[in-house]
Structure formats: C-alpha cells, structure tokens
Amino acid sequence: MDIDLFINEVQKLGIEVSNDKLQKLEKYYELLVLWNEKMNLTAITDKKMVYLKHFYDSLTLTKVIDMTEIDNLCDIGTGAGFPGIVLKIFYPNINLTLVDALNKRIIFLNEVIKELELENVETLHVRAEEYAKNVREKFDVVTARAVSSFNTLLEYSIPLVKDGKYFIAMRGSDDTDNSLNALNLLNSKKIKAECFKLPIEKSDRTIVLVQKIGKTNLKYPRKFSEIKKNPL
Ligand code: SAM
C-alpha cells in the first residue's frame, strides 16, 4: 500500500490524516525496521506491507468504536505496538497502556514513545492475567490483536474493562462461535463481529466488539496453568 492509497483508505474510515501523523508513522516504520535487525518484532518489513498490514489494519478498530469518545485504552499483547501505538498517533487524546509479556518488546516501545514524543503512554512488562488480577474495571476499551484463543483472551481482558464498556478483539477469521459460556461467566455480551477483507491483498479480518454488563467475579482471571488446562 503506497502512501497515497494509505491516506485514501484511512480517510474512508473517517479518520483525518495530517502531515504530523504521517511523519510519526514514517519514524515508527524506520525504528521498527532498524530494531527488527536485532530483535524479532515483526515478520513484515516491506514498507508497503507495514503500512497495510500493521498501520492501516490497526486503524480498522475504528469500524466498531468512536475513538474520540475514549478516555483510556489498554492494548494487551501489543507486541511492537499494534494496534496501540498507531491508535495513539491518530487519537492523541487517549491515555494508553501497553501490556506485553516480553520485555524486549517493551524496551522497543519505550524508544518509539520517546522518539515520537507521545504523551500519556505507559508500558508494562507483565502477563495480562497477572495484571488483571490486581487492576480491575479500569479501562473504557481493552483491545488485543492476534493474541491467544478468543475465550482465553476474554478471561484476561474483561476484568480490566469498566462496567458497561468494551473489549475489542482483532482477529483473522471469526473464532467466537463457542464463546457463549465464557461471555456469560464473565458478565459480558458479544455486540457484533465485523468481518471484512484488507484492501489489496484481501486477507480476512474480524473485529469482535464485546460489552461488559456487570462486575467480574474476583476468581477471574485464573492462573495461567488453570486457564490453559481448562479454558472457559
Ligand atoms: N498485537 C501485536 C500485533 O498484532 O502485531 C502482537 C501480536 S503477537 C502474535 C502476540 C503478542 O502477545 C506477543 O508480543 C506476546 O509476547 C504477547 N502475549 C501473549 N500472551 C500474553 C499474555 N498472557 N500477556 C501479555 N502478553 C502476551
């Protein structure tokens, strides 16, 4: 996806693109490729593909939620910062928390935050299920792209969401068919699964919008070993 097409497709999502945002994305791309030489951040390094499969893809979250209404957002398993950092570039109003279990990714993210001069972003080297044991009902939106199975992800994420607010999973195909039990146990409901194809290379994407409809029982999330042995 060349830059003109990127701008065009992002505008179709209803998002404003400015020179400042484009410059930040360019810098982010340079850092991603540079750091990828010394640590494994992404398999995609071709510029057009990064703009399509990381930058544009991250912004598709806006298909299901109005980001201008969001105070704080937590991105679980953010990896090299997707979708969290891209959303922060386009919506500087959000207070962003980035969570990842791998410290080397957190070190990279801290560099990106410094170089792009992003404000109100915290990075946490922690497993989501440990974080969610102590931090309850804090966020307007919790999101995760390409992390774990859907039911496992629900158990990590729903405790972090404010009552009445949203968890948004960004996935390839829709794998939410067997999630009713997990949703009920976690006091949440699936509002919709938006299925579409990425422009150009036409791979499948699904964005699942889940609303929390009551406080989460303190027994969730369980320990990682229990979640793995006996998923909800
Ligand atoms: N969200 C990024 C993206 O879309 O490019 C990264 C996806 S990568 C496939 C999965 C990431 O989730 C990895 O960075 C991994 O370290 C992190 N992860 C997996 N399980 C996790 C957990 N329980 N808590 C925190 N991070 C986790």
Residues 6 or more apart whose CB falls under 8 angstroms from that of 197 comprise 203, 204, 205
173: how many CB neighbours lie within 10 A of its CB? 10
Question: Residue with the nearest Cα to atom 9 of ligand 1?
Answer: 146
Residue 1 confidence (pLDDT): 87
Strand-strand pairing, 204-212 and 188-197: antiparallel
**89 in Cβ contact with 118 (< 8 Å):** yes
The structure's pTM equals 0.97
Question: Residue with the nearest Cα to atom 20 of ligand 1?
Answer: 77
Residue 138 confidence (pLDDT): 98
Question: Residue with the nearest Cα to atom 6 of ligand 1?
Answer: 79
Using alpha carbons, list the distances in angstroms from residue 168 to 22, 25, 27, 60, 190. 25, 23, 27, 11, 10
Q: Is residue 61 lining ligand 1, measured as CB closer than 6 Å?
A: no
What percentage of the chain carries pLDDT values higher than 70?
Answer: 100
Report the chain's mean pLDDT, rounded to a whole number: 96
**The pair of three-digit structure tokens given for residue 190, joined into one six-digit string:** 């699936």
